[in-house]
Structure 1
Amino acid sequence: MNNRAHAFLWGIRQFRTSLPRSRALRTYSLGFCKPEVIHSKWNPRNHLLNGFDEGLQPSVRYLFQDIFISKSVAGCTQTRGIIHAAGFKLDRILCPRRLSFDAKHSFVSDGTSDHDLMKTNFHHTSTEDVLTKKMRPTPVNYKKLAQECNSLSDVLDTFSKAPTFPGSNYFLAMWIIAKRISEDKRRFEKQLMFSHPAFNQLCEQMMREAKIMHYDHLLFSLNAIVKLGVPQNSLMVQTLLRTIQERISECDERCLSILSTALVTMEPCMNVNALRAGLRILVDQQVWNINDIFTLQTVMRCIGKDAPFALKKKLEMKALKELGRFSVLNSRHMFEVLAAMDHRSVVLLNECSKIVIDNIHGCPFKVLISILQSCRDLRYQNEDLFKSIADYVATTFDIWKLKHVIFLLLSFETLGFRPPGLMDKLLEKVVLEPGSLTVKNIVSVLHVYSSLNHVYNVQNREFLEALASALTGCLHQISSESLLNAVHSFCMMNYFPLAPINQLIKENIIHELLTSGDTEKNIHKLHVLNTCLKLDESTYKSIHIPLPQLPLTASHPNEKLAEVLSRLLEGDGCFSRNVQLPHNYHIDFEIRMDTNRTQVFSFSEGDASSATNMQRVAVLCVPKSAYCLNSNHLRGLMAMKIRHLNVMGFHVILIHNWELKKLKMEDAVTFVRKKIYSDEALATTDESV
């Protein structure tokens, strides 16, 4: 034995003989056997455990800054007052000894006594190597455990037989198993997990170990525990959140990604909000040091919609800086990320759209839906992107399920985009196989085609008849609101199936619609039904459904158009503003002209009575939302209104308010003149000029 080892053991003997034997060992809540130190300035916070079993790192706090070895008598170490001169201080920091469990699952020593420690040969090995080799049991490998076990209960059985440190590996193994089984089996396995007798013991062990784990293992554990369905308000989850919050300064780039992934799925609470606030501070400091694109996107998704705009802008600039490194997956994912943080970056969306368009083939259905829903949330309209998705689905129509195509069309409808090719493909499919439609499919298809006002000239009648026949076969199982939605869509398309309408106008059905569900929306749709039955060519003109009167909607006609008409018609006496019509219709301006639309009459009673060929002209100032995206194709409600105004004797003129807004007053007068007067009147005016 060399001189160094001899001096080491001599110091141990001197220290042991200086300690009295009057106090027994106390077991602390963390589970370690540790002597009670009676000292006025002693603080238990000085000995918190923040290390782990996989090596020492400078940023992690360890168990004993100064390790004192005291004499063991009858299995218990006894100390009374520690005199600093009596102990010795090791030159290097030692990692705490590994833990093992007795049959009652409490922390005890793993079998190495002080006497055995004194016999250890330090001649050829370091202190840490000896402790690692002699006193550390091998931790359980969660990947191997997940391969050996077939259920969550098997993992808990393994834990109850021989618990090892760390307990986080058992939760990770259970989450791996839960991911690979079916949804129904997963639900059943979770119930068995919660009722397993070892589950509470594992949770207790997890809480004791929280302060001594590596930070990334702690974050992985939290993510697995939440995904396994452990209630967020449970003591274990809240303890982990609090511990993560206290040690957030240990967070590196990898930990940022794990923590963001865990927080995204958690409901707001005090600890979650505090942790998210700390995460934002860290991200603000470390954003330019993030190298991995997926980590950047995970962090962007987690910071939330209520994050400061400056932080959102900084993350946007970082993403633009890394745009050249974006993969196809990164580009697809960026839409959902920006929607999650409610930040509309047109430049970033445009660049990602180009990559998505170039790699559209093979894009999964869920990704397509996510992109379209994110575009809706961000109010981002890219016709090239929408057309690319629609053309891809239309080209590969036969490989898609019918419900997938309908769901895509519903997403397009919310964006106001009409894909004619894809809608024609679905129309032909419905005509050939109407029996393949469910009630939900029928209502959805009717809603899309009526809202986008899509008419297929070749088979439009056959399409409506096929849908009416399929709906008639489902009347015994359809709800009142679904029936109303379907009939409302039929009426918008000027088609009136007998059986569904007869079912809808029954007294009990009307009463149910007026007293339950979204009554305001139901009343509005029933008014539309009443109007269509009266004005359109139907066999129900004598039927009137008694309904409460709708409140008059406040209308504010375009002031610029009013000034243009005043200049064009030389005064306000030749037009009327905000005209209320029967059937809850109103028009912005009304003009009275001759049938050839060459002459304007004033609203004075004499002029009106002398005009035998008077034509009422309705001037409507319409927004872009009245048309399908970037087209002149009217949407369903506006098309139905124009149809009904024509039935009431009006000639309808549409003025685009976005075009009128760009023009100067002189150009606006010329623009409106061309809209109001017929070509014949304009030609006569030009000749006279």
Structure 2
Amino acid sequence: MSNKAGSFLRNLGQFSPLDPRSRTLRLYPLKFSRPKISHSNWNLRNLLLNDFDNGIRTSIRYLFQDPFILKSGDGSLQRKGISIATFLRVDRHHCPRRLSFDSKHSLVSAPPFDDGLKKVNVNPEVSGGAGLSKEINPPPISYRKLSQECNSLSDVLDIFSNAPTFPSSTYFSAMWTIAKRMSEDQKRFEKQLMFGHPAFSQLCDQMMKETRIMYYDHLLFSLYAMVKLGVPQNTLVVQTSLRMVQERINECDERCLSVLSILLKEMDKCKNVDVLKAGLRILVHQQVWKIESIFTLQTVMKCIGKDTSIALKKKLEMKALKELDRFSLLNSQHMFEALAAMNHRSVALLNECSKKVIDNIHGCPFKILVSILRSCRELQYYNLDLCKGIADYVATTFDIWNLKQILLFLISFENLRFRPTDLMDLLMKKVVEKPESLNMRNIIFILYVYSSLNHTDKCQHKEFLEVMSSALTGCLHHISSENLLKAMYSFCIMNYFPLAPLNQLLQKEIINKLLTSGDTEKNVSRLHILDVCLKLDKVAYQHAIDLQLPLPPPSLSLSHSKVAQVLSSLLGGEEYFARNVQLPNNYHIDFEIRMDANRSQAFLFSEADVTSTNLRRVAVLCVPRSLYCLDLSHPRGFLAMKMRHLDVMGFHVILVKNWLMEKLKMEDASMFLKTKIYSVEAHPTTDVNLHNTY
């Protein structure tokens, strides 16, 4: 094969950015520095004399001439028009980064200083290099200066169309800088004008031609600007730039690494993005110890994703721990989000960052605080001191927050099972004083948080419930069935039953709608609890749900072998208690013991007469952490309601914390259950302080 044909096929093969099978990702030994390109016996004169004829005579149908060729759903190409263009190709191994093609297919050489550019104009109709002429090209302009001189995106495109200069990334960066200053409506209008501008297609065309020869950071900045400006991701200009970023990833220095990480977070998933993200992971794996900027490290952590390898996550964690002494307050605040982004729970790192956040909590922005709490939830990181520090700060500065912000704080705390008592008391006071500030959404959220965390205030609890009931009644004409059920479910947990909302909810057509639409499983569960509350609690509305509800799923039965062993040795055998007892109203208890009224003696379970007045039934509930608030001393709403209902059913309720029972020795566990089961009068010499320890 001749040299010309080989050169032609190699050049043609380079332009396949939309076919992921046409080129695989190639990674070279990586260094965080821009590669130096050296060429022996090379200069512009030799290039033009030796290789110009090969490049200029080859005329091909350039399918990338229109940058807005889109991929349709069936994989076919859709475009407004394809034009024939003569494409000048310079071998990438003989072309330095400062050489480019302008929109008129002119070879541009940029000097290191602003001495002006010499441009060689080429007439495609003249072969053999005849017809060459020289003219002065306008000096390049920085995107900062361009963004200061222009007031709209179209102004930038007008300047480009009058005198296009290298690199084209300057214009994209300038347009994005200008767009950031605009309002959303103005930005939307300007983008429409930008896409319709005749020079925009020309700019995209030049961008594709320069992707191989512009600096790597310029390529990244221009691609980021295109994505932020709303250029569709499946256009050729974006995919070509994306593919070239992938091919030249070995040129990525630390600054480019940060930009590339931010860029990948902004882009939707596609084959080229996935391959580039895989390349980024390899790059980070090799160069993680050379990263100097904490900001770059955290940006990379946010980008690599949750599905990356554990080895890489551990490597990034160790790098962050190594740099802890250099962490600023902002670094500590953002580390929560970075760890959550890659779903890696580093307790040591989170503990150190929590201390710094608590010590510098005053003045911390709202978004940062909420982001920290949300990240803690995603990582299942429950730090009582951190939650207390944030809650105390919000309560101290209560007046500077609006109601929406307070609710977001409370919802975030509820997700962590933390009950901020001072903050919740302040909100109750504000609701009682200004009930007109409530809307339907606020009502549902407030009721949910207060019922879930089982928060009451003796001074104003009743008044608070009355205000919330009145506010909910005012919304009945436009509230949805599911929202009404959510609100009434919360009221039931708190043992309060407003009549007007209850009457509307219990209508047959409302119940039927709840059983056939929306999240029917949750609706059925809430309706069952509502029905049980109407039967067992002291409700003025003595009328249960008429319709037959579907049976809820059976409760999960666990063995709790250690508790059973302790009860057997303490009571004198397994015949003195029963396991996994199913009660009416779909209640389940782990163990039941039958004793005399003074709880001084246990009876054989099979011989005890339930109808006897001298009998006291004892329910032992083995409770997980999730049913307690974060301080592990206050039961949450559902557990409190269950205890209330078991008391109505005649049970003495004993709570056994599973995680503590597993840690106790058999002697300590036996002593603990003895103090819980038998009354104080039955063992007066027993150390009563043990009762308070657990």
Using the size of structure 1 for normalisation, the TM-score is: 0.83
Partner residue in 2 for 1:156: 157
Counterpart pick for 1:590 among 592, 595, 600: 592
Supply the distance in 1 between the matched residues of 2:666 and 2:99 (Cα, whole angstroms).
87
Query: Residue 153 of structure 2 contacts residue 178 of structure 2 at CA under 8 Å; is this kept in 1?
Result: yes
Supply the distance in 1 between the matched residues of 2:284 and 2:107 (Cα, whole angstroms).
41
Query: Residue 99 of structure 1 contacts residue 164 of structure 1 at CA under 8 Å; is this kept in 2?
Result: no
Supply the distance in 2 between the matched residues of 1:562 and 1:646 (Cα, whole angstroms).
23
Query: Residue 100 of structure 1 contacts residue 137 of structure 1 at CA under 8 Å; is this kept in 2?
Result: no
Larger Rg: 1
Partner residue in 1 for 2:432: 431
Query: Residue 491 of structure 1 contacts residue 529 of structure 1 at CA under 8 Å; is this kept in 2?
Result: yes
Supply the distance in 2 between the matched residues of 1:330 and 1:72 (Cα, whole angstroms).
52
Residue 558 (structure 1) aligned with residue 535 (structure 2): no
Residue 628 (structure 1) aligned with residue 629 (structure 2): yes
Residue 304 (structure 1) aligned with residue 305 (structure 2): yes
Supply the distance in 2 between the matched residues of 1:396 and 1:277 (Cα, whole angstroms).
45
Query: Residue 220 of structure 2 contacts residue 245 of structure 2 at CA under 8 Å; is this kept in 1?
Result: yes
Supply the distance in 1 between the matched residues of 2:277 and 2:56 (Cα, whole angstroms).
44
Amino acid of the structure 1 residue aligned with 2:605: F
The C-alpha deviation readout for 1:617-648, integer Å capped at 9, x for no partner, is 11101112221112311100000000011111
Does the residue aligned with 1:619 lie in a helix, a strand or coil? strand
Q: Give how far 1:494 is off.
A: 0.6
The C-alpha deviation readout for 1:382-438, integer Å capped at 9, x for no partner, is 111111111111111111111000110000000000010111111100000011012
Partner residue in 2 for 1:324: 325
Gapped regions of structure 2 (runs ≥ 5): 16-32, 59-93, 109-117, 123-133, 688-694
Query: Residue 99 of structure 1 contacts residue 136 of structure 1 at CA under 8 Å; is this kept in 2?
Result: no
Partner residue in 2 for 1:59: 36
Supply the distance in 1 between the matched residues of 2:186 and 2:56 (Cα, whole angstroms).
50
Partner residue in 1 for 2:666: 665
Deviates more, 1:160-169 or 1:319-328: 160-169
Supply the distance in 2 between the matched residues of 1:521 and 1:344 (Cα, whole angstroms).
31
Q: Give how far 1:559 is off.
A: 1.3
* Structure of greater relative contact order (alpha carbons < 8 Å, 6+ residues apart): 2
Query: Residue 506 of structure 2 contacts residue 545 of structure 2 at CA under 8 Å; is this kept in 1?
Result: no
Query: Residue 452 of structure 2 contacts residue 637 of structure 2 at CA under 8 Å; is this kept in 1?
Result: yes
Does the residue aligned with 1:608 lie in a helix, a strand or coil? coil
Partner residue in 2 for 1:574: 576
The C-alpha deviation readout for 1:316-367, integer Å capped at 9, x for no partner, is 1111111111111001000000111111111111111111111111111100
Supply the distance in 2 between the matched residues of 1:239 and 1:404 (Cα, whole angstroms).
44
Deviates more, 1:390-399 or 1:667-676: 667-676
Supply the distance in 1 between the matched residues of 2:576 and 2:352 (Cα, whole angstroms).
52
Supply the distance in 2 between the matched residues of 1:489 and 1:68 (Cα, whole angstroms).
79
Supply the distance in 1 between the matched residues of 2:610 and 2:470 (Cα, whole angstroms).
50
Supply the distance in 2 between the matched residues of 1:134 and 1:532 (Cα, whole angstroms).
89
Partner residue in 1 for 2:20: none
1:451–1:97 distance in 2 versus 1, CA, 3 Å: closer
Partner residue in 2 for 1:227: 228
Does the residue aligned with 1:240 lie in a helix, a strand or coil? helix
Q: Give how far 1:97 is off.
A: 5.8
Supply the distance in 2 between the matched residues of 1:609 and 1:72 (Cα, whole angstroms).
104
Partner residue in 1 for 2:455: 454
1:393–1:151 distance in 2 versus 1, CA, 3 Å: same
1:44–1:471 distance in 2 versus 1, CA, 3 Å: same
Q: Give how far 1:458 is off.
A: 0.3
Does the residue aligned with 2:585 lie in a helix, a strand or coil? coil
Gapped regions of structure 1 (runs ≥ 5): 1-36, 50-55, 80-91, 115-132
Q: Give how far 1:213 is off.
A: 1.0
Supply the distance in 2 between the matched residues of 1:200 and 1:46 (Cα, whole angstroms).
23
Does the residue aligned with 1:600 lie in a helix, a strand or coil? coil
The C-alpha deviation readout for 1:542-572, integer Å capped at 9, x for no partner, is 2324211112123114111111111112222
Give RMSD over aligned pairs: 2.9
Query: Residue 63 of structure 1 contacts residue 95 of structure 1 at CA under 8 Å; is this kept in 2?
Result: no
Amino acid of the structure 1 residue aligned with 2:643: I
Supply the distance in 2 between the matched residues of 1:601 and 1:512 (Cα, whole angstroms).
49
Query: Residue 257 of structure 2 contacts residue 296 of structure 2 at CA under 8 Å; is this kept in 1?
Result: yes
Supply the distance in 2 between the matched residues of 1:77 and 1:581 (Cα, whole angstroms).
89
Q: Give how far 1:684 is off.
A: 7.6
Q: Give how far 1:285 is off.
A: 1.4
Does the residue aligned with 1:524 lie in a helix, a strand or coil? helix
Query: Residue 468 of structure 1 contacts residue 497 of structure 1 at CA under 8 Å; is this kept in 2?
Result: yes
Does the residue aligned with 2:141 lie in a helix, a strand or coil? coil
Q: Equivalences for 1:75-154 in 2 at 5 Å?
A: 99-101=101-103, 107=106, 112=120, 135-154=136-155
Q: Give how far 1:224 is off.
A: 1.4
Query: Residue 336 of structure 1 contacts residue 371 of structure 1 at CA under 8 Å; is this kept in 2?
Result: yes
Number of residue pairs aligned between Structure 1 and Structure 2: 608
Supply the distance in 2 between the matched residues of 1:58 and 1:599 (Cα, whole angstroms).
86
Amino acid of the structure 2 residue aligned with 1:579: V
Q: Give how far 1:520 is off.
A: 0.3
1:72–1:614 distance in 2 versus 1, CA, 3 Å: closer
Partner residue in 2 for 1:172: 173
Query: Residue 101 of structure 2 contacts residue 107 of structure 2 at CA under 8 Å; is this kept in 1?
Result: yes
Supply the distance in 2 between the matched residues of 1:318 and 1:594 (Cα, whole angstroms).
63
Supply the distance in 1 between the matched residues of 2:257 and 2:590 (Cα, whole angstroms).
56
Query: Residue 153 of structure 1 contacts residue 192 of structure 1 at CA under 8 Å; is this kept in 2?
Result: yes
The C-alpha deviation readout for 1:70-119, integer Å capped at 9, x for no partner, is 4999xx9899xxxxxxxxxxxx99876665545xxx547876579xxxxx
Partner residue in 1 for 2:64: none
Amino acid of the structure 2 residue aligned with 1:342: N
Residue 382 (structure 1) aligned with residue 383 (structure 2): yes
1:331–1:509 distance in 2 versus 1, CA, 3 Å: same
Partner residue in 1 for 2:214: 213
Q: Give how far 1:673 is off.
A: 1.2
Q: Give how far 1:448 is off.
A: 0.5
Supply the distance in 2 between the matched residues of 1:60 and 1:585 (Cα, whole angstroms).
76
Partner residue in 2 for 1:356: 357
1:512–1:185 distance in 2 versus 1, CA, 3 Å: farther
Query: Residue 35 of structure 2 contacts residue 251 of structure 2 at CA under 8 Å; is this kept in 1?
Result: no
Using the size of structure 2 for normalisation, the TM-score is: 0.82
Supply the distance in 2 between the matched residues of 1:77 and 1:663 (Cα, whole angstroms).
85
Supply the distance in 1 between the matched residues of 2:148 and 2:413 (Cα, whole angstroms).
44
Q: Give how far 1:141 is off.
A: 2.2
Amino acid of the structure 2 residue aligned with 1:202: L
Does the residue aligned with 1:601 lie in a helix, a strand or coil? coil
Q: Give how far 1:498 is off.
A: 1.4
Deviates more, 1:470-479 or 1:329-338: 470-479
Query: Residue 594 of structure 1 contacts residue 611 of structure 1 at CA under 8 Å; is this kept in 2?
Result: no
The C-alpha deviation readout for 1:149-174, integer Å capped at 9, x for no partner, is 22323333333343332222221112
Partner residue in 2 for 1:403: 404
Q: Equivalences for 1:281-292 in 2 at 5 Å?
A: 281-292=282-293
1:155–1:507 distance in 2 versus 1, CA, 3 Å: farther
Query: Residue 63 of structure 1 contacts residue 96 of structure 1 at CA under 8 Å; is this kept in 2?
Result: no
Q: Give how far 1:238 is off.
A: 1.4
Does the residue aligned with 2:210 lie in a helix, a strand or coil? helix
Supply the distance in 2 between the matched residues of 1:527 and 1:619 (Cα, whole angstroms).
23
1:98–1:221 distance in 2 versus 1, CA, 3 Å: closer
Q: Equivalences for 1:538-549 in 2 at 5 Å?
A: 538-546=539-547, 547-549=549-551
Partner residue in 1 for 2:76: none
Supply the distance in 2 between the matched residues of 1:504 and 1:444 (Cα, whole angstroms).
19
Does the residue aligned with 1:281 lie in a helix, a strand or coil? helix
Identity across matched positions, percent: 62
Query: Residue 173 of structure 2 contacts residue 221 of structure 2 at CA under 8 Å; is this kept in 1?
Result: yes
Amino acid of the structure 1 residue aligned with 2:577: F
The C-alpha deviation readout for 1:290-323, integer Å capped at 9, x for no partner, is 1111011111111111111111111111111111
Supply the distance in 2 between the matched residues of 1:77 and 1:591 (Cα, whole angstroms).
96
